[in-house]
Amino acid sequence: MNVVMAAAEAIPFAKTGGLADVCGSLPIKLAEQGHRCSLFIPAYKRALHSGLPISDTHVSFVVDLAGKLMSARILKTTLGNGTVDVYLVDQPLYFDREQLYGDEHGDFRDNSERFSFFSRCVVESIERLRLPVDIIHCHDWQAGLIPAYHKTNFGNLQWYGNAASVMTIHNMAYQGRFWQYDMNLTGLDWRYFNWQQMEFFGDLNMLKTGIAFADVVTTVSPSYAKEIQMPAHGCGLDGALRAKGNRLSGIVNGVDYNVWDPRIDKNVAKNFGQENWREGKIACKQDLQREFRLPDRADVPLVGLIGRLAEQKGWDLVKPLLEAIVDTADIQWVILGNGEARFADALMELARRRPDRVGVRLEFSDSLAHKIEAGSDMFLMPSRYEPCGLNQLYSLRYGTVPIVHATGGLIDTVNNYSDASAAVGVENGFSFQNYDLDSLKQCVLRAVDIYSREPHVWDKLVGTGMSQDWSWTNSATAYESAYRRARELAAIDGRL
């Protein structure tokens, strides 16, 4: 198939979260499996300095945004040793900024204009570049207008008649909601501004637009696909998602094992695999303890945490948990992340008070993240909600047993160890159901107890996790099925 993707970020060009990992890896894997893949992203300042050679396609045009004429220039580079063409939509007024979506003052006020422009440029560029398209795959709200342009035949572009559309939701919390008169920027007829398609409580909602018009909607795990159809996690769009019926599904994100594999990881003190993980993790744990200036102890359980310091990631539980047990439980904690000051300040105070048990770095460091995955005995991921999650998948590969809240993609990837299920052989971690301090505390202390008192069980958990395959191969195969489904439904609808 000929697959064209559109997204606001992709590694190695620009990244704020898991969206970039997906859009930088999935097209490469699809190309390996025989598909022709292209990717459109904005030409951010950082994208133009990715280190990859960039050329000019000599395709340029003007977009009319409610009477404001904005020029676009289309640049090109490649990924995957030339197997994936990457097109960068260049307009410095919109994209020559230090950050992608906002600054210290909040979201950029012109985000609706910026990404209306981006979406218009994608559909126009496909036509001008004469790209063959069987599937137009749009990611998150920033590309949410594209399925609407496609299905309404906006601009009467020839490629529309050969393509089906897929919309992928990476996080329901981010929807691209703007005041109603930004509808004019889209160029679409106001008749689409209704409760079933583009309107949301009087506002324009770009994610809802993509959901309403796409042939197929996917999200990043099967459990999250179920959760977002309920009010608690649907963020107001649960009805729109339920209306998609069998056109909605969940596909777990993959892991790039060329980057996240302890056998070849250049960031860790000693490489290791399933056959020698014990000696490898001993060396990596010792290195991690020295990095965080913790006592060099092989016997103490070491728990790692990485991520944004925010309630969504569970820090409203982690903070009181540490305050409650740091003096009584013989556990070492290493924490890497930045975010809300109330959590950062509390963590730094704990590190000052118990430097023998708590190490904190208020930053993000990719190399240190690898060290934490390799050197920790356990990885704590108590997210309030988690569409997919990647760190638990990294942890499994590195023999670091995950402890998670049973939500979203964490349900689909971490099988809870219990005495009743000990003989099944699929357990690879620990999870807790209720999102409260007591449930988290019991789960952590139970994992620590198994680690200390039942080494044969612990070895089994580590071995099971390390043997599992969460590579992009399986995920890409699932996306192939979603693409075929989209084309079948488009044909049934009489558009192919």
Domains of the chain: 2-254+473-492 (3.40.50.2000), 277-468 (3.40.50.2000)
The per-residue pLDDT for range 143-166, each reduced to its tens digit, is 999 999 999 999 999 999 999 999
Report, as an integer, the average pLDDT of 270-274. Answer: 97
In this prediction, residues 43-47 reach a mean pLDDT of: 96
Question: Side chain identity at 156, as an amino acid letter?
Answer: N
The pLDDT of residue 420: 61
The torsion region of residue 389 among left (phi > 0), alpha (psi -120 to 50) and beta comes to: left
Choose among 102, 143, 145, 449: nearest CA to 301.
Answer: 449
- Token digits for 241? 């998602």
Rounded to an integer, the average pLDDT of 99-110 is 94
For residues 313 and 408, what is the distance between their CA atoms, to the nearest angstrom? 12
Q: Which residue has the higher pLDDT, 466 or 17?
A: 466
Q: Which residues make Cβ contacts (< 8 Å) with residue 130, sequence separation at least 6? A: none
44, 63 in Cβ contact below 8 A? no
Residues 299-334: tens digit of each pLDDT: 999 999 999 999 999 999 999 999 999 999 999 999
Predicted pLDDT of residue 419: 67
What integer best gives the mean pLDDT of the chain?
Answer: 96
Q: Quick check: 238 and 228 in contact, CB under 8 A?
A: yes
Q: What is the pLDDT of residue 424?
A: 54
Pairing of strands 332-336, 302-306: parallel
Residues 204, 210, 212, 218, CA torsion sign: negative
For residue 170, pLDDT over 60 is answered with yes
Do 78 and 84 meet the contact criterion of CB atoms below 8 Å apart?
A: yes
- pLDDT value of position 422: 54
Residue 87: is its pLDDT beyond 90? yes
Check residue 384 and give its pLDDT: 96
What CA–CA distances, in Å, run from 352 to 159, 335, 345? 61, 14, 11
The predicted-structure confidence for 336-348, as pLDDT tens digits, reads as follows 999 999 999 999 9
What pTM was computed for the model?
0.94
Which pLDDT score, from 0 to 100, does residue 364 have?
87
Q: Are 207 and 238 in contact (CB under 8 A)?
A: no
Cα(187)–Cα(17) distance, integer angstroms: 30
- Measured CA to CA, the distance from residue 402 to residue 414 in angstroms comes to 7
> In whole angstroms, what is the distance from residue 144 CA to residue 207 CA?
5
| pLDDT score at 247 | 97
Taking residues 7-14, what's their average pLDDT?
Answer: 96
Task: Find out whether 408 and 388 touch, Cβ atoms under 8 Å.
Answer: yes
pLDDT of residue 423: 52
Contacts of 44 (CB under 8 A, 6+ apart): 13, 14, 95, 96, 97, 100
Residue 18 belongs to what H/E stretch? helix 18-32
The burial class, CB within 10 Å (0-12 / 13-18 / 19+), for 108 is: middle
Q: Which residue matches tokens 């649960």? A: 238
pLDDT beyond 70 at 421:
no
The torsion defined by the Cα of 96, 97, 100 and 106, in degrees rounded to 10, comes to -140
* Least confident range of 207-211, 423-427, 450-454: 423-427
Tens-digit pLDDT profile for residues 126-147: 999 999 999 999 999 999 999 9
Q: DSSP 3-state assignment of 419? A: helix
> In this predicted structure, what is the pLDDT of residue 332?
98
Cβ count near 452 (within 10 Å): 13
Distance CA 418, CA 171 (A): 30
CA distance 131 to 219: 26
DSSP of 106-161 = EE-TTHHHHHHHHHHHHHHHHHHHT---SEEEEESGGGTTHHHHHHTTTT--GGGG
- Cβ–Cβ under 8 Å, residues 177 and 185: no
Q: What is the DSSP letter of 430?
A: E
How confident is residue 495, by pLDDT bands cut at 50, 70 and 90?
Answer: confident
